[in-house]
Structure 1
Amino acid sequence: MRNPFFYRQRKYIFIPILFFLLGSSLFFLNSTPTRSEDTTQMTPTVFIHGFKGGPGTFNTLLDRFEENNWGTKQMVIHVSSSGNVQVRGSIPYTMNPFIQVLFENDRASIRSQTFWLQKVMWTLKEDYGISQVNLVGHSMGGLASTNFLLNNQRGSFPTVNKLVTIGSPFLGIEQETYFATNTGAATVDLKVDSNALTSMMENKEKISPKVGVLAIAGVINQEAAPAKQTDGLVSKQSALGLSYIIPAVNYQERIFFNEAATHSGLHEFAEVDQAIAQFLWNIQSEQDI
């Protein structure tokens, strides 16, 4: 007669092995790139912070976008100072995923951030099958995004359908006190007539004739002369300087006159939320309906 204790013992050994195999499967599923059922039909929107920015730049904006049912944040991409790309999350089947890019070195030059953005875009194309994206950049993130458009001919990158820049100083920052208290390679590029900004203007013929662009500027001193109007850091003229790079047929701009439309407050401004949603996804506000 067979010993029942022997079968009970085998049963108890089998159960931990089953859990181990199940756990291992889940680990590998979460550790390898996963693609949507059809990523070619999606256009994820990639959000890039600016100088000294980080998760806080777009976290609350993306929370509001989700609350409005405009899409969901599906992926966060960290880029180390050495350029290593680490991806958290995936692109499941959803028609409007958001991707947040975070640079470890938030004071790097436009050239470095452009190179890192190229690595991010290559990863999205090669590992996740993303063929097209929208870009949204605040301040220097808008400069890096535009410079990517000027330097993406060589390489396997997704096509950029639309670009939104928020308070990006395309003509530089005029406040000398700003450079007295801020340091890093980025501060060289952010000065008026810097080599980096001048180079972008000189290479404007490299921009794709198909990409649509929206430049957003804030003005907190509406009573000032037009040349002196500013969001507290970036002048209106500088934020709209993208018009010197983008063909007029593809260029739009929005100016928000409000004491709350500060340089760091623009990405917390409800009217900016609506302007982005309308431009990228043709979502109308209740007032327009």
Structure 2
Amino acid sequence: MIPGSSADATHFDNLISTVNQQYNEHHSLLRVTVGVNNQISYSGNYSTKDKHPFVTIGFENSQDGYSNIKKQAAWLNIAFKDLKNKYHFNNFNIFGHSNGGLIWTYYLENYFKKSPININRMMTVGTPYNLESSDKDHTQMLKDLISQRQNIPTEMTYYSIAGTKHYEDDGIVPLSSVSAGKYIYEDQIKNYTLVVLTGSNAEHSDMLANYQFITLFHQYFIKNTLQKNSSQ
């Protein structure tokens, strides 16, 4: 799990705590922070007995901007390799809030093709694939992500979640910017679904506390994976 700009590896603590309490589950949580000098620090715990442990990855430089997103994707690659060597997992799900989804996308296109590990599903919330531009004017970032889309693993399922304040944006990110992810993922992966949430806590910074989102997060990001694992 990767947070958005100006957030750290503790960003999802409340969400995971809510899921554990609401569904009477006991998911472990490991936090990873990558420094600008490529050094990695850990906190929390990762239980090898946990069928769905959470790992959150934050960056010392968590600032906004396309140039920083590229750097953060490179730091993600360093963290991912270290996690793989320490815990020897062979499949995983990925989650990103806001720019976290951009970091994941850039990582998948530029680094992940060298990894033998399988991605089951991806979920993002309020990811601005076209930044704050309209759908008609593609930013350089969106053009770059479209041009490298063929590197994204084809077997994954992706749920892109958008919130709306006035049926146009979530107070920060335009709905059209979130939906621009279709130019990258549609017809490239097994399943791509855009979900639009409205009502209470549907604004950008509040989405992780939205009851509709928490239901979707548990159903499609956790429960389905647990059922798949138990059937193997």
Q: TM over 0.5: same fold? A: yes
5 Å matches for 1:46-195?
47-55=1-9, 57-67=11-21, 68-88=23-43, 89-107=45-63, 109-153=68-112, 155-156=114-115, 158-174=117-133, 193-195=138-140
Between the aligned partners of 1:82 and 1:158, the Cα distance in structure 2 is 26
Poorly superposed stretches of 4+, deviation over 4 Å = none
Q: Which has the larger radius of gyration?
A: 1
Structure 2 counterpart of 1:275 = 216
Q: What fraction of aligned residue pairs are identical, expressed as a percent?
A: 23
Deviation of 1:55 after TM superposition, in Å, equals 4.4
SS of the residue corresponding to residue 119 of structure 2 reads strand
Deviation of 1:203 after TM superposition, in Å, equals 0.9
SS of the residue corresponding to residue 16 of structure 2 reads helix
Gaps of 5+ in 2: 225-232
Corresponding residue pairs, total: 215
Gaps of 5+ in 1: 1-46, 176-191, 223-228, 284-289
Structure 1 counterpart of 2:230 = none
Cα contact 2:10–2:31 (8 A) shared by 1? no
Q: Could you tell me which amino acid in structure 1 is paired with residue 178 of structure 2?
A: A
Between the aligned partners of 2:37 and 2:196, the Cα distance in structure 1 is 37
Cα contact 1:124–1:158 (8 A) shared by 2? no
| TM-aligned CA distance change 1:220 to 1:70, over 3 Å | farther
Length-normalised TM-score, structure 2:
0.85
Query: Of residues 135, 142, 147 in structure 2, which corresponds to 1:197?
Result: 142
| TM-aligned CA distance change 1:61 to 1:205, over 3 Å | same
SS of the residue corresponding to residue 48 of structure 1 reads coil
Between stretches 210-219 and 154-163, larger displacement belongs to 154-163
Between the aligned partners of 1:102 and 1:157, the Cα distance in structure 2 is 23
